[in-house]
Structure formats: C-alpha cells, structure tokens
Structure 1
Amino acid sequence: MVGPGRPQIVLFGSSIVQYSFSNGGWGATLADVYSRTADVILRGYGGWNSRFALKVLDQVFPKDAVVQPSLVIVYFGGNDSMPPHPSGKGAHVSLSEFIDNMRKIGEHLLPFGQDACHFLSPPPMNERQIQLVLGIDAIKGRRNEVCRPYAEALLTLCNEINVKCVDLWNVIQQQDDWLNTCFTDGIHFTAKASEVVVKEVLKVVREAEWKPSLYWKSLPIEFPFDYGIPNSLSLAELELFRNEQLELPPSTALL
C-alpha cells in the first residue's frame, strides 16, 4: 500500500467506466480533481453487464477487506438493454433482472457507510453514429427506445433504496447538439460529455450529507503547500481555482 492512507473512490461498471480513463474521460478528470485528496480506482470493463457484476461483486468489494471504499460510482444498463442474441450468449439482461441485480449491488455496497455508493443511469445514444462507426451488426438492438425503460426503472429503484443517481439519460440530452457532440462512436463519451458527467458527480458529492464529506474542496490536501514565499498566491488556492469550471449550481438533474 502506498501512503499516506486516504479515501478510495471506485468506478464500477462496463466500457463507459473503462474508457473513462482515456484522454478527456470523466474518470481521468475525477482522478485529476482528487489527485491530492483521494484515490480514484477503476474496476469496470467493456462488455460487463449487471449479471456479471454480481458474479464478481465479492471479489471486487470483499466485505472483510481492511480498507473499504469511501464511495463507489456504479454504471450498468447499456449492455443489459441490448435485445437477446439468437445464440443466447449476448449481454442482454431482462429489465426485471437488471433492477433486481442493481438492487443487490446497492445492498452490498451501502453497508460500507452512509451513502457509500451512487449510480449513473444509462445514457442515450446516437443510433446513426453507431451504425456508421461500428457497423451494421453493432446497431442491431442498440435503440434508445429499448434503453430508456432501463434508465427510468433505475431512477425509480434509486428512490426506493435511497441511493443517489445521476440521470444521464436526461442530462446528456440537455446538451446543445448532443447527438453530434457527446459520442465518439454513438455509445461512448467525448470529452464534452465526460465533463457533463464529472460536473454531475461532483455535485452529488458536494450535496451529500456524508460525514466526513468527500467533496473535493473539503478533503485535506496531502503535504504542505507553504514554502515560505511571502505575498504570493498559495499553491493551495491555485489547486482549488484549477477545477472551478467543473462546479455546477446545486440541485440540477439529480435524484
């Protein structure tokens, strides 16, 4: 273990999580924001769905671990909502099973602490772009009308089990020209869409009544900034100013 010990924020999900550490991705930006206060850890990979997540849940988040995550950000739903493959081996998970799986994930993580997890809803997609970039086979079943019930049902579940949820389904569609500016291939996020995700996540953390707070401005910054230089802007202030563009007003697109 690398010291000193500090909070762990784990990203758990599918390719929306894995690719979030690419250039301009929302995971990479969160790691930058928390670079002196918390560790942002990736545990999400392309192709995963909520059914597979349950199979690895105890491995990724063992309840007897000495150090437990302070926050887990969970994303599933895009792969689950794909229609069944004729072979029976596709990523599809029925809506009822998806909700049951997400409930079990929440129940596993919440005992780690008050508000120890929150979910991201499935986002919309650009169906035409998927066809152009990924090919005709990839577009089969990738439909907004099929995915939307999964996003809506997850928001309802989060209200029931008191888990905070970022409504990516609607917040992405609120962006100007979202179909053409938010996706690299019709499914995965551009830097613009990733910035939207970061702003919403940080707002959730800022408004949560966690004690101690995981808000990036509230966490203690590791190692001293004061080098004894008189009459100069402190490095601590520069660190805070560096991410001001990621702040959102309270209570926007948030459950």
Structure 2
Amino acid sequence: MLIGRKQLTAVARRWHPRATTATRAMTSTPRPRPTFLLLGDSLTEFAADPAQQGWVCRLQHEYVRTADLVNRGLSGYNTRWFLDVAWPVISQELKTKWSPVLVTLWFGANDAALPSGVDAGEYVPLDEYARNIESIITKMLEAAPNAHVIVLTPPPVDDAVRLTLVTDSALLDRSDAHVKDYAARCLEIAQRFQSTARVTGIDMRKVVQDAAARSDQSFASLFCDGLHFSDAGNELVTQELLATIRTVVPHLAPERLVWQLPDWETLCVKTRAMTSSPPPRRPTFLLLGDSLTQFAANPEQQGWMCLLQHDYVRSVDWVNRGLSGYNTRWFLDVAWPVILQELKTQWSPVLVTLWLGANDAALPSGSAAGQHVPLDEFERNIDAIITKTLEAAPNAHLIVLTAPPVDDAARSALLTNGELLDRSDASVNKYAARCLEVVQRFKSTSRVTGVDMHKVVHDAAAGSDKGVASLLCDGLHFSDAGNKLVAQELLATIRTAVPNLAPECLAWQFPDWKTMLAPTK
C-alpha cells in the first residue's frame, strides 16, 4: 500500500525486518498457521501490553503473517493454581481447538514469594514447585505431541526496588536470594527431559543478570518495578526467545516460516486461487484486512490490535488476517478459500472486523495501479465478502470499516524518479462512501455495523494544525495517535453494537489469583 516498489520495500522491511523472498512466496497448498502457546503468570500476561513493548507483542509482530500466538498468561498464578484451575481447561482446548508447535512455560516468580512476606498466599514450597513444573512439562508433552516446550526460569528480583514499594509496615514480598533457588531447580527439571529432545530450558535469571551487568543502570534498566519487565527488558526477552527458537527449532524462526498467504506483489503478476463443563472456550475475534490490519500488530507504532489485545488479554483470542497490499479481488480469490477452511475447522469467531478498500482505491494511472479495483467491482466484492463471512461465521457480528483518508501532500512527498501519485483522498472518499452503502444493505440482519473511518479520522484531525498528518505516519498508515484513535473507535462501536463483547462485560476464562487465597470449602 505504498508508493512505488522502492518505498514499498523500505516500509515492508521496517515492519518485517527479516522478511525474505522465501517467506513471502506464494504456496500452492496453504496450510493452517502454526500455533504458539504461551503459558505463565504475569510475566506472560503483561507481555501483551504495547505500552511496555511487551515481548508477546514483539513476537506477534514478527510472526503476524506466519503463526498465531495464544496467550495464556495468568497474573498472580503459581504452579499449584495452574495445575488445579487452568490446566483442565487448557487441556480441553488442546484436544479441540489447536495443536501448538511451540509452547513457552514461564512459572516460578509467584511460587518464590517469601513464605513470611506480604504475598505469602502465592508461595509454593521449593520441592512442590519442582514436582509441579515436572508435571506441567509431562502433561504438555503428552497433550501437545507436536510441540517443542521452552521452559524459562524466573528472572531476578530487584530487592532495592521492591523495598521502595513496601508501605504501612508491610513485609517484603520477594527476595532475589529466594528466587535464585527456584530458578536453579527449574533448570534441573528441564534437564531431566533432555532425552526427549523436545524441552529446552532458558536461564532467564542469568540472561537478565548478564544484560544488567552490561548496563550502567543495572536492573533498573530492565524492570519497571523490580519484578516486571520494562521496554528494554521485554526486548531482551524477545531476543533471547528468538535466539533459542533459531537454535533448537530453527524451522520455526520467523524468517524460515512461509507466509500462509502470498505477498500482494506476486498477485500483480498473476492471481491464483488456492484451496485448501469446564469454563467455556475464549471467544475469538477475527481481523480481516490489508496493511491497516497487518501493521496493527506492531507495538512500535502502538498498533490498534496491540492496544485492544491488551484490553482483552484474559478474555479473548485475537486472530490477525491482515494482508498488506491486498485488495478485495485478491482477498476473495486467494485469501478467502484458506480463511473459509480455517472457519470450518479451527475457530468460530464472535466478532469480525473487515477493513479493505485502501488498495482498491489506488489511482488507476498511479504508481500502485496494479492494486486498483474499479469502484463497482469493489462494491460487489465487499458485498460478497460480507455475505460469505455472515454465512461462514454464523455467531459473529461483523464490523466493516471504510478506508481512512489519505494525506495527498505526504504521499506526494514520497515520490521519487518521476513516480506518479499512488492515491488521492478524493478517490478514497468515493470508496469509503460506497462501502457504507453496501453495509446499509445488511441492516436487516442486525449483524453488520459500519464505521466511517474516513469521517472519524477527518473529524479527529480537525482540531490539529497538522490535519490528518497528526494521525498518519506516511500519509496512509497510522501513527501512534492514529492507532489509539482506531482502538477507541472500535471499542466505542463494540460497546454500542455488541455490548456483551465489551472488555468489561466479558468474564475472565480463569479466575483472578486472589480468589485462590480464599479458604476452600
């Protein structure tokens, strides 16, 4: 969705720095995307927070076109509660929902709470912790026979920072000396499974200490509160996990995985259709679109999917099928047969967002003419996609977003070597209006809601001296402020059209850890 091939390649690399020709090649037999299952406590749950550049956000950005990441981080949980409360549900999901190829297991930070401290209710004795970790690994290897399990030890604790948080004569909750024993025992357990060739241990305690030794700020540079990671700490975790993946399961490295659906540039040459009593499951939100959806997984731009995923991290699974550069024609011919098969076999979404049109509206005489779809064909395609989605996802409400404005001046500034303007706001406006007309036809179903993002962005920019430039980073894609606007608009739409799916209305799949402290009757 960018001007010219040079600019397109530059931005594509910015968003996917390790993208290679191999990963972007069209495949004749697309397969379901592999699933990565992330199990843990708050070090995993909070990793979905884009405000801290969470490591889950970072990994999800790396794998946005190749793998689905399922976050089962449960803040405050220890290994005992995970086995008693979470595992029965997760084991059922493994039987019926997905078969992961990679599992991360990160527990111990809560088990290692001081038995006489303020968080004594989370404490699990060291020997029991060892038995629990061994049990979880054993159960996971059996329940996920195709998965490699990466076991991370609890990281260090910054005692000095934790002490500053103690108030009203409260006792210290954790100490680094105590956590050290749990990290060592965790590595011992992982080592017992060496013969399986399916378990790898990461000594995150040593990784963090080594990194801190290289920093003038010591632990303060890697933690935000002496326990949870800062931006720099999350980057360190991401780098360590990617390095481990590249070493022990190199075929799962982001640069080695083939995109499930081909890069849009290949479609300019030739378009080819491809065929191919516990708590309830978490509902699924399915995001369909072009780069406005694909790039929404980028935490560096505070992507709107990252922002929303953080709001729903304990209650909803998000599936991103944003396809950079795609128009409605290619979506129907290439992507829909694959997505339809996934809808039949993998998940049944309760909410679908559909955001296409920015590429269809490319100027027919501009540098992105290969993406152009005539307005009448765009209308038919949007109608067809909505119809097919309503049929294939009978429990879903569909939110259709119009193409947002284009900043003509910013797009013109990117022109080089005599290139022609790729898009204009006047052209996009026509596609946005036609999109809303199509949505109106489905009013009687009560299952389709339109969002005029062209108007939303213009209205939000009206109070800025920079106009829409205040919300776009390149005249087309959203900046941090623009992504925040999209997230706010989608939340407002959800609360109005499907209020039962608002984050505050959805129950957590697993209970809060504090409820575990109540006496058992």
* TM-score category (smaller protein): 0.7 to 0.9
CA distance in 2, matches of 1:131, 1:98: 25
Partner of 2:61: 32
Residue 64 of structure 1 pairs with residue 91 of structure 2: no
Partner of 1:224: 262
Partner of 2:47: 20
Q: Is the 8 A contact 1:72 1:118 kept in 2?
A: yes
Residue 126 of structure 1 pairs with residue 158 of structure 2: yes
Q: 1:58 to 1:32 in 2, by over 3 A?
A: same
CA distance in 2, matches of 1:115, 1:8: 9
Return the offset for 1:26: 0.7
Which of 156, 168, 189 is equivalent to 1:157?
Answer: 189
SS in 2 for 1:67: coil
CA distance in 1, matches of 2:265, 2:259: 15
Residue 166 of structure 1 pairs with residue 202 of structure 2: yes
Cα deviation, 1:154-182, whole Å, max 9, x if unaligned, reads 11111111220111101101122332101
For 1:170, give the aligned amino acid. Answer: K
CA distance in 1, matches of 2:117, 2:164: 23
CA distance in 1, matches of 2:140, 2:210: 30
Q: Is the 8 A contact 2:157 2:176 kept in 1?
A: yes
CA distance in 2, matches of 1:150, 1:66: 32
Residue 148 of structure 1 pairs with residue 177 of structure 2: no
SS in 1 for 2:95: coil
Q: Which moved more, 1:34-43 or 1:128-137?
A: 128-137
Q: 1:190 to 1:137 in 2, by over 3 A?
A: farther
CA distance in 2, matches of 1:103, 1:150: 13
1:1-255 alignment to 2 at 5 Å? 5-23=32-50, 24-55=53-84, 56-62=86-92, 64-65=95-96, 67-85=98-116, 90-111=121-142, 112-113=144-145, 116-133=148-165, 135=167, 140-162=172-194, 163-175=199-211, 176=215, 177-209=217-249, 213-227=251-265
CA RMSD, 1 decimal = 2.7
Return the offset for 1:45: 1.6
SS in 1 for 2:240: helix
Q: Which moved more, 1:104-113 or 1:13-22?
A: 104-113
CA distance in 2, matches of 1:86, 1:182: 24
CA distance in 2, matches of 1:139, 1:169: 23
Q: Is the 8 A contact 1:134 1:185 kept in 2?
A: no
Q: Is the 8 A contact 1:33 1:216 kept in 2?
A: yes
For 1:65, give the aligned amino acid. Answer: T
CA distance in 2, matches of 1:206, 1:122: 22
Return the offset for 1:209: 4.5
Q: 1:191 to 1:68 in 2, by over 3 A?
A: same
For 1:153, give the aligned amino acid. Answer: R
CA distance in 2, matches of 1:138, 1:30: 37
Partner of 2:467: none
CA distance in 1, matches of 2:135, 2:147: 15
Return the offset for 1:202: 1.0
Q: Which moved more, 1:127-136 or 1:178-187?
A: 127-136
For 2:172, give the aligned amino acid. Answer: K
Q: Percent identity?
A: 26
CA distance in 2, matches of 1:174, 1:87: 29
Return the offset for 1:64: 2.7
Q: Is the 8 A contact 1:49 1:91 kept in 2?
A: yes
Q: 1:14 to 1:222 in 2, by over 3 A?
A: same
CA distance in 1, matches of 2:120, 2:220: 32
Return the offset for 1:87: 10
SS in 2 for 1:10: strand
Q: Which moved more, 1:215-224 or 1:148-157?
A: 215-224
Q: 1:194 to 1:134 in 2, by over 3 A?
A: farther
CA distance in 2, matches of 1:138, 1:101: 29
- How does the TM-score come out when normalised to structure 2? 0.41
Q: Is the 8 A contact 1:130 1:138 kept in 2?
A: no
CA distance in 2, matches of 1:123, 1:31: 22
SS in 1 for 2:265: coil
- In structure 2, the gaps of 5 or more residues are 1-29, 270-290, 299-521
CA distance in 2, matches of 1:217, 1:137: 52
Return the offset for 1:66: 5.2
- How does the TM-score come out when normalised to structure 1? 0.81
Quick one: higher RCO (CA 8 Å, sep 6+), 1 or 2?
Answer: 1
